[in-house]
Amino acid sequence: VRSGNIKPESIRIRDRILPVCSHGECGANRIWDFPTCWEHLTDAERQNLKERLAAALRSGEDLKRIVLTGADLQHFDFTGADLREAFFNGCNLSNCKFVDADLHRAFFGVANLTNADMTRAELNGTVFTGAKLEGIDLAALSISFGRTPINITMRSFGDYGFRRRPHIDESHPYFAEATYRALKTHFLKEGDYDSASWASYCERLMQRKVLWQRKNYLKWITSLLFSAVCGYGEKPKRVFFASLAVVFLYAIFYKAFHLITYVGKPDTVTWVDSVYFSALTFSGMSFSELVPHADPFSRLLVTTESFGGIFALSLFVFTLTKRYVAR
């Protein structure tokens, strides 16, 4: 008997009494039906565990309340398994599949679930405290009544900050982006293209916030411009209003700097003439009476506006097609 320090035979975790590892002073709980914890399994025992687990999953064996604390189970396929109240705490479950699995009250404390697929898994009461969830496929839509997903659309979600309806938590854009992406995929699968468009736009907004957080300002400005001119290809109206803004902006330049003139009638150009000239230039038409001066600045402005017009027209067709026809 050593120093009177008696090792307890069992340990209590989340209302479960689990036998303790038989190895020396180790106080961790045993794994599955083995006499030790994962740390103290031999390589052969670990191999045996994985093979038996894989066999049990294949044959649809009952794995309710199974204790797999700390196990390294990357790439395991738990599709459709009954894993109610299972212990996966501290497990490495990256790239695992839990599609359609029943994870009612399962425990994933500090587990690594990177890139795991929990599509349509039953997540009622599932605990993810401290777990790594990067790249995980689950999203709100996995939370179901029974096994039928709730019939959600973009109207199911309120704006961020509007508390009475569920909303996506945007305080961590990196994770919100993944959630919107999962929603977009879900809506596309359901054929709800309006909701998919909304989720896609929100996803890009989150991407922009991530760019800002990472101080990637050049890409952030590009993203901001793309958003302003066409709402990331989801908002055709924005192309129209951006075009109007461009036409008026150029008109102001033409008039303010006296860059255009009537042939043979100098200094008779009005503000209306200027807007008219700008609109024609933007739409790619020339107007023989009203011409730019021969200086490089005037010509540069006229050229860029013409190019802008061609670009805007293509963008409008592209956005309209993407929004209402394609997918």
Q: Residues in the site for Zn ion, rule: CB under 5 A?
A: 21, 23, 26, 28, 36-37, 40
Which lies closer to Zn ion via its Cβ, residue 29 or residue 261? 29
Q: How far is CA 255 from the centre of its chain?
A: 46
Nearer to Zn ion, 23 or 104 (CB): 23
Taking the complex as a whole, the smallest distance from the CB of residue 143 to Zn ion amounts, in Å, to 35
Name the nearest CA neighbour of 140 among 110, 164, 176, 104: 176
Q: Find the shortest distance in angstroms from Cβ 34 to Zn ion.
A: 10
Our CB check for Zn ion shows the closer of 70 and 231 to be 70
Look at the alpha carbons of 79, 85, 86, 89 in this order and tell me if their dihedral is positive or negative. positive
Residue closer to Zn ion by CB (options 38, 76) is: 38
Q: Which is nearer to Zn ion, 20 or 99 (CB)?
A: 20
Separation of alpha carbons 83 and 106, rounded Å: 7
Q: Which is nearer to Zn ion, 37 or 113 (CB)?
A: 37
